[in-house]
Amino acid sequence: MPFESSVWIEELYEMENGRTMKLKVTDKLATYDSKFQRIEIYDTKAFGRMLVLDGVFMTTEVDEMGYHEMLVHVPMCVHPNPKRVLVIGGGDGGTLREVLKHKEVEKADICEIDGDVIRLCREYMPALSCSFDDPRVTVYTEDGAKFIAERKKAYDIILVDSSDPIGPAAVLFSEEFYKNLSECLDDDGIASTQSESMFYHPNVIITLAQYNKKFFKVPSYYFTMVPTYPSGMIGFSFCSKKYHPIKDLKEEKAKALTKHLRYYNPDIHRGAFALPQFIRTKLEGILY
Amino acid sequence: MPFESSVWIEELYEMENGRTMKLKVTDKLATYDSKFQRIEIYDTKAFGRMLVLDGVFMTTEVDEMGYHEMLVHVPMCVHPNPKRVLVIGGGDGGTLREVLKHKEVEKADICEIDGDVIRLCREYMPALSCSFDDPRVTVYTEDGAKFIAERKKAYDIILVDSSDPIGPAAVLFSEEFYKNLSECLDDDGIASTQSESMFYHPNVIITLAQYNKKFFKVPSYYFTMVPTYPSGMIGFSFCSKKYHPIKDLKEEKAKALTKHLRYYNPDIHRGAFALPQFIRTKLEGILY
């Protein structure tokens, strides 16, 4: 079902704010209304295949590395022995794929509420969804917030690969979620959580930083660049019970890993924690 | 002349690549066909007033700080005594405004080919064009490439605040320009030049890095985030004859300056030189 050359898709969520990105679409691969959301997969001229949930651009083949590599390798290269890893959300598989590049991982659980996202990504986005059959992986099609509330000290690393704080992912931006996140991690655990854009959503970042500080001893925040996300970048809360994001970086491990990556390296690991002054000022007294 | 609420402007240049940004326009302030280009100034819902040249978004009031502060303060906080500064391009005045925050500057020359850009920005973008009347400033309405070719060892810092390598700015991306840039600087001079996006224009960056290496002893490259630019970021060639961009950073000077800034601080100065692996690999053997 190839499209006419004049077909473009716009991100709906940012329309009301008066700023939106438009991508030229070359093919429509899937549209499905799941129990939770509208799932769409397109082929685009500039960014390859793209997953869209409820009108929001979630990930594209060409620029997903900035997101997935930084969500995963920053905490994984700080924790000295990340054997047990949980991914919340992440139905496209990109986060799981990066987790499994770490040989010391013995167990990679993924808890994605919407099994139809996994199903469609496995069919249409193989570059991302290539790791679901790894023997270390267990897929839970459940509510991530409930999942972590029921488990104590069960993981070394938890990666929250969520959509925005509207719709099914809203619960992943609550104080209770951060409390449970802390309790679901072992005593030296680290979580990285998708925490929006410093340009467009500073108030979300401030709120999450407050939760992070309340439940973790070493709270921090870092960013990565993703051209198809609103404002071209996105940030992560680094929620750590023991290890410091820069002082405890395992330089040699990070360097060895870098050879197989497109975005992450030890320098950008450190650089990602350097924030522009306008957001640093807002986080003064919370994280700094 | 207020617009209807449904009026949006799209960046023309990226249309053919299948990726473009759309901004909601609340007012059209000026349209003028100068000798060189079409100059437009709009008020936008999300980003305040915006300058557009030949259909390309040049700068907006809300996110210009990422660009102007990083273009200016990175070289200015590395050079120990930047007294004589030249801005090439920069007709909106934002770069000049940042230069004049450095008290040691005795002479700030600006060479903008299109006097109508300065005229219209002085009328409609006062937040940027506030420094043209400073007694240290001399405005030259000339071709920047010719201007530097005629002057030897005349400046400590040169800042090339250009549009893209199409139209009147194309000459600022040539090998001869980088040769003349080097000769126009004193023996310990530094230039920063607008050098495009690593996501969208890696080949431009590689070419400019080769020129940079050929004519400067300490060539480097750094980036900043600007949501209204294609891919949400932009980079600069750091062209230095003597000083290292990080080892020679004047930390105390940078810290003192930071109090009056929205983007730049010493941490982000260092972080800006940490590049994602995909572009670092391309620059391996040139800059690394």
Residue of B nearest to A8 (CA): B18
* Of the partner residues A19, A23, A225, the one whose CB lies closest to the CB of residue B18: A23
Identity of residue A214: K
In a shared domain, residues B126 and B245: yes
- Is A230 domain-assigned? yes
pLDDT of B53 reads 94
- Rounded to the nearest 10 degrees, how much is the dihedral formed by the CA atoms of B201, B203, B205, B207? -150
pLDDT of B5 reads 60
pLDDT tens by residue, B249-282 = 999 999 999 999 999 999 999 999 999 999 999 9
Total structural domains within chain B: 2
In a shared domain, residues A68 and A55: no
Mean pLDDT of A28-36: 97
In a shared domain, residues A208 and A277: yes
What confidence tier does B2 reach under pLDDT thresholds 50, 70, 90?
A: low
In a shared domain, residues B21 and B74: no
Q: How far is A204 from chain B (nearest CA, A)?
A: 18
pLDDT of A142 reads 96
A46/B21 CB distance under 8 A: no
CA distance A5 to A12: 21
In a shared domain, residues B75 and B188: yes
In a shared domain, residues A15 and A93: no
- Please give the mean pLDDT across all residues of chain B: 95
In a shared domain, residues A13 and A42: yes
- Is A95 domain-assigned? yes
- Is A288 domain-assigned? no
pLDDT at A4 over 90: no
Of the CA atoms within 13 Å of residue B119, those in its CB half-sphere come to 11
In a shared domain, residues B30 and B139: no
* Of the partner residues A24, A228, A268, the one whose CB lies closest to the CB of residue B275: A268
Tell me if B159 sits within 8 A of B94, measured CB to CB.
Answer: no
pLDDT at A3 over 70: no
CA distance B8 to B25: 5
Long-range CB pairs of B201-205, under 8 A, 24+ apart, other chains included: B202/B279, B202/B282, B204/B165, B204/B173, B205/B235, B205/B279, B205/B282, B205/B283
pLDDT of B31 reads 97
What confidence tier does A36 reach under pLDDT thresholds 50, 70, 90?
A: very high
Tell me which of A11, A19, A49, A200 to substitute to probe the interface with B (most B C-beta atoms closer than 10 Å): A19
DSSP A4: P
* Of the partner residues B65, B262, B277, the one whose CB lies closest to the CB of residue A258: B277
CA distance B30 to B15: 23
A43 an active-site residue? no
pLDDT at B168 over 80: no
Instruction: Identify the CA nearest to A191 among candidates A169, A217, A224.
Output: A217
- Is A2 domain-assigned? no
pLDDT of B191 reads 98
- Is B269 domain-assigned? yes
Identity of residue A164: D
Instruction: Give percent of chain B above pLDDT 70.
Output: 98
pLDDT at B186 over 60: yes
Residues of chain B contacting residue A45, judged by C-beta atoms under 8 Å apart = 17-19
In a shared domain, residues A256 and A114: yes
pLDDT at A211 over 60: yes
Q: What is the CATH number of the domain that holds B126?
A: 3.40.50.150
CA distance B70 to B223: 8
In a shared domain, residues A94 and A168: yes
Tell me which of B199, B222, B262, B273 to substitute to probe the interface with A (most A C-beta atoms closer than 10 Å): B199
Residues of chain A contacting residue B277, judged by C-beta atoms under 8 Å apart = 258, 261-265, 268
In a shared domain, residues A257 and A142: yes
What confidence tier does B4 reach under pLDDT thresholds 50, 70, 90?
A: low
Mean pLDDT of A165-191: 93
**Beta pairing, strands A155-161 & B8-10:** unpaired
pLDDT at B1 over 80: no
Q: Using beta carbons and an 8 Å cutoff, which residues of A are at the interface with B?
A: 10, 17-24, 44-47, 63, 65-66, 199-200, 225, 227-233, 258, 261-265, 267-268, 270-278, 280
pLDDT at A170 over 90: no
pLDDT of A112 reads 97
pLDDT tens by residue, A96-139 = 999 999 999 999 999 999 999 999 999 999 999 999 999 999 99
Catalytic-role residue among A63, A161, A186, A248 = A161
What confidence tier does B133 reach under pLDDT thresholds 50, 70, 90?
A: very high
CA distance A52 to A37: 10
Residue of A nearest to B46 (CA): A18
pLDDT of B167 reads 77
Catalytic-role residue among B63, B161, B186, B188 = B161
Neighbours of A31 (CB within 10 A): 12
pLDDT tens by residue, A236-271 = 999 999 999 999 999 999 999 999 999 999 999 999
- Is A1 domain-assigned? no
* Of the partner residues A264, A271, A275, the one whose CB lies closest to the CB of residue B277: A264
Residues of chain B contacting residue A66, judged by C-beta atoms under 8 Å apart = 276
For CA atoms A44, A47, A51, A52, give the dihedral sign.
Answer: negative
Mean pLDDT of B78-104: 98
Q: How far is A49 from chain B (nearest CA, A)?
A: 13
Mean pLDDT of B93-104: 98
In a shared domain, residues A140 and A161: yes
Residues of chain A contacting residue B199, judged by C-beta atoms under 8 Å apart = 63, 225, 227
Residues of chain A contacting residue B274, judged by C-beta atoms under 8 Å apart = 265, 267-268, 270-272
Tell me if B178 sits within 8 A of B215, measured CB to CB.
Answer: yes
- Is B2 domain-assigned? no
pLDDT of A5 reads 60
Q: Would you call B186 exposed, middle or buried from its count of C-beta atoms within 10 A (0-12, 13-18, 19+)?
A: middle
pLDDT of A12 reads 78
Domain that holds residue A20: 8-59
* Of the partner residues B46, B265, B277, the one whose CB lies closest to the CB of residue A263: B277
pLDDT tens by residue, B11-26 = 877 888 999 999 999 9
- Is A211 domain-assigned? yes
Q: What is the CATH number of the domain that holds A55?
A: 2.30.140.10
pLDDT tens by residue, B216-254 = 999 999 999 999 999 999 999 999 999 999 999 999 999
